[in-house]
Structures are given as structure tokens and as C-alpha cells.
Amino acid sequence: MSEFDAIVVGAGPAGTSAASKMASSGLNVLLVERGDPPGSKSVSGGILWGRELSNLYPDWEKSAPLERFISNKVTGFLTEDSYVGIDFKTKKFEREKTGYSVLRTRLDGWMAKKAKEAGATVITGITVDGLAWEDKKVVGIRQADDTITSDVVVLAEGANPRVAIDEGLRAPISDKDVAIGIKQVVKLSEQTINERFNLRNGAGLAAEFSLGFLKNGVMAGGFLYTNKDTISAGVVIDIAGLRKDNKTYSFDIMDQFINHPYIAPYLENGQLQEYSAHLVCEGGINYVPKLYGNGYVIAGDSAGLSFSNGMVIQGMNYAIASGISAAKAAVKCKEKGHYGESDLAYYDELMQHSQAIEDMRKFKGITGVTWSPMIHEFLPKFAENVLHDMFYETGEPKKHLFEIAMENLIGSRYDKKKLLLESYRMMRKM
């Protein structure tokens, strides 16, 4: 007889959601986390979109450690001299509150506490070395010379799922599957943040930028998220371009972003509280492995459940949803008394009809757009030049916008056939 009905590896949003749902449903659950306390190894800062937490905690908006609701969404391009973007503000976000900035160290700790309150046993500071197998079925986890047994194991290790990879449950990570994320958390007073970003009454901003000033084919995006009294600022860098260039360092790109003339004023006189880095899943639907097997399921970033089309970034909500689905499958197996591969296929069935998989399937191949030279090299400079020529007063007769655009298009060094193909791909994929 197993020591636990379920063991969850990883106390991020996916793992804590699974543990909480299973424990509240009467299962004997062990949640194992490498960090001590939970959240200590999480990279702070991000946007929690959607309302998946309401499926676990109906009053989550009152009790969860949320920073600000997002009332202002910005997406744009940065060149050496310019910022070009879309700045969308709406009172609808204030009424609907569909997204919140969060600090993962606080959110993950809160969710682990909720899982413990639901009845899960939480052990921290433990690194799982591998899975325990018996007759080709996962029957628990291994740590050093110890084995802890369970009927099912939920692998929610994050974007670098060493156990799943080492056990052959998913393919090793390649450059096309992940990006490098670097983040700073900068301390400023709540009043200063409100004044600099024109915010009030708990409202916040989520901004993402294409960094069009980088050289030698290196591509990266930047972001700013406002918290109550801190700002999360960082970059997400394409590993393939960075490796090919072999001259630019990731921290150089971070420094260029935070010192950009249109970013630096937001962070001026702030106190650096955290500087961290992690992997970001970028592989899309092709990076999602088989989600279940004989005695195990894979959830959250471990399963590659992350999405970005350059304007919308999803991750935490997918993780929470997958954790809940994993728990539902485990509860159903408990009721049947079977945890085999065919039984746990119910998890895959739930996920195939989930927002996460539906989004990733619909936007298959989007990384060919978001990590393309058109987005990171051509469009930033093209938009800058067109707008400059349109707004700059020379004392000469005005030109039509179409004429200005065509002059700058012809004057660019970007291959025209390639531009047409990539424009078509962008319209189809985005």
C-alpha cells in the first residue's frame, strides 16, 4: 500500500493548485518543494491573467497577495532614440479586474499555505532525484537513498523539468524551446509609482516591448509591471541568437533596457531589491509532451504550458488550470481504484479542451513571428522613421502617409519578398 495517494513535485502555481484540489477532495497528498520556504526560488514579478484561482478559492481576490489590478496595457517597440507603441487604458479593466500584477515569492508562498490548510503535507528544502518505478509504473519519488511511495505523481517542476527529462518523460530542452528571462524588482514608493505611471486607486500597468536597438541578430523583449511599491523590470532573450552572436551577454541586454531613455526615468532613484534569471517556455504546442503515463502526469511549465503572441503573455493561469485538471484526474482514479495510463488519460482529455491547449493549438507557429527579424529589426525602425517623417516639421509641403511609408520601405535594407512572406505569416498567426 502506498504512503500517499498523490505526490506533487514543485510548489509553483501548478503544483500548489493540484495539491490543494486533491487534498480538499480527501486525498492524502504530499507536496515536495526544493525552495525553503515555498516561493523562495521563484522569480518575482508577473501578471496573473484570468480567474482560474476562483475555481479553488472563490474569495481569492480578497485574500491572495495581489499587487495591482491592470488598468493599463502597453505594447510597443524601442529603438535607440524612440518609443513607438499602443497604450490602452480602459475603465472596463477596473470594473472587470481580469489581471493583477503579483510577486511570485508571495503568491507561491500563499498558495502553498492554502494547500497545507486544505490538508496537504508540505515538505520544503528537498530536491527530488528521480522517480520510483515498479513494473514500468511510477510508484513514487526518490531522494538520495529514500523512496516515498504514492499512487500518482504530479510533476510540476517548472520550466527546467529535470526529473521529467532525466526519466525520459519529455525531450531535453533545446534553444528553440525556451528563452532566458532576467528580472529586477526595484523599490519605489507607492506615490512615486502612481505619479510616474499616472495611476491611482490600486491600478497598475503591464507593458511589453520589442527591443529594436540590439545588434548582430540578437533578439529580445522587455517588460515593465507595476506592483504596489516596486516595479518588475526585465527582458526575455532568444537563446539561439545570443549563442550565435557569442559576444553579447544577457546582462548587457538587461542593462541596455533599463537604461533606455524611455525606460530609465520610470526606475530613477529606485532601490534594487532582487536580480534573478530563469527559463521561459517558448516552444509552443510542439514543445508540449505527452501529459500523462502509467502513474504520473505533467503540469504547468514542466509541460511547456506557456503562451505569448507578442501582445498577450499567459503562463500562471495555464499552470493553475493544469494543476486543477491533474487533481481532477487523480480524484477520479482514486474513486475507481486505478492509476494506470488509461485512467490518467482523463487529465489529457481535460487539457485538450482547456484554454491553454486551445490557445497554443490556434497560435501554432507563433514563435516564428514573435522571434522574427521583422518584429525585432524591421518594424521598430520602420515605425520610428514613418512617424518621424509624418510629425517632424520641415517647412516643406506635406506628403501622404502612403508616400512616406513607401519611401521608408524602399529605403530599408530589408528583403522585400521576405517582408511580404513574414507579414502574411504575422497576420495569419497573430
Specify whether 204 is located in the same domain as 333: no
Average pLDDT, the chain: 92
What pLDDT was estimated at residue 17? 98
- CA 78: distance to chain centroid? 21
For the segment 77-88, the average pLDDT, to the nearest whole number, is 96
What pLDDT was estimated at residue 32? 97
- Which residue type sits at 277? A
Query: Considering the domain boundaries, does residue 71 fall inside one?
Result: no
Query: Considering the domain boundaries, does residue 96 fall inside one?
Result: no
SS3 304: coil
Specify whether 191 is located in the same domain as 268: yes
For the segment 68-73, the average pLDDT, to the nearest whole number, is 95
SS3 87: strand
Rounded distance between C-alpha atoms, residue 98 and residue 107, angstroms: 17
Q: Which of 40-49, 103-112, 144-153 has the lowest mean pLDDT?
A: 40-49
- CA 123: distance to chain centroid? 25
For the segment 171-177, the average pLDDT, to the nearest whole number, is 92
Specify whether 161 is located in the same domain as 107: yes
Query: Considering the domain boundaries, does residue 165 fall inside one?
Result: yes
Q: Which of 63-77, 322-336, 361-375 has the lowest mean pLDDT?
A: 361-375
Rounded distance between C-alpha atoms, residue 243 and residue 97, angstroms: 40
Instruction: Decide the pairing of beta strands 130-134 and 137-143.
Output: antiparallel
Percent above pLDDT 90 for the chain: 75
Range of the domain at 420: 368-429
Specify whether 208 is located in the same domain as 256: yes
Specify whether 276 is located in the same domain as 335: no
Query: Considering the domain boundaries, does residue 363 fall inside one?
Result: no
What pLDDT was estimated at residue 413? 76
Query: Considering the domain boundaries, does residue 87 fall inside one?
Result: no
What pLDDT was estimated at residue 41? 84
Specify whether 114 is located in the same domain as 207: no
Rounded distance between C-alpha atoms, residue 309 and residue 28, angstroms: 39
- Helix, strand, coil share (%) of the chain residues, nearest 5: 40, 30, 30
Q: Does the pLDDT at position 417 exceed 80? A: no
Residue with the larger pLDDT of the pair 43 and 230: 230
Residue-wise pLDDT for 156-166, tens only, equals 999 999 999 99
Residue with the larger pLDDT of the pair 13 and 398: 13
Q: Which residues contact 263 (CB under 8 A, 6 or more apart)?
A: 78, 222, 224, 233, 257
* pTM of the predicted protein model: 0.93
Specify whether 55 is located in the same domain as 108: yes
Specify whether 187 is located in the same domain as 330: no
How sure is the predictor about 372, in pLDDT bands with cuts at 50, 70 and 90? Answer: confident
Specify whether 402 is located in the same domain as 341: no
Query: Considering the domain boundaries, does residue 75 fall inside one?
Result: no
SS3 328: helix
Percent above pLDDT 70 for the chain: 98
Q: In which element (H, E) is residue 416 found?
A: helix 416-429
Count of the separate structural domains present in the chain: 3
Q: Does the pLDDT at position 424 exceed 80? A: no
Specify whether 195 is located in the same domain as 263: yes
Q: What are 25's three cell numbers?
A: 477532495
How sure is the predictor about 308, in pLDDT bands with cuts at 50, 70 and 90? Answer: confident
Query: Considering the domain boundaries, does residue 91 fall inside one?
Result: no
Query: Considering the domain boundaries, does residue 82 fall inside one?
Result: no
Rounded distance between C-alpha atoms, residue 223 and residue 237, angstroms: 12
Rounded distance between C-alpha atoms, residue 82 and residue 64, angstroms: 38
Specify whether 288 is located in the same domain as 235: no
Identify the domain boundary among 248, 265, 281: 281
What pLDDT was estimated at residue 156? 97
Identify the domain boundary among 227, 260, 281: 281
Identify the domain boundary among 352, 376, 398: 352
What pLDDT was estimated at residue 404? 87
Specify whether 115 is located in the same domain as 51: yes
Domain of 345: which CATH number?
Answer: 3.50.50.60
Measured CA to CA in angstroms, residue 339 lies from 150, 198, 402, 424 at distances of: 10, 53, 63, 46
Give 124-142 as a DSSP string: ES----EEEEETTEEEEEE
What pLDDT was estimated at residue 429? 64
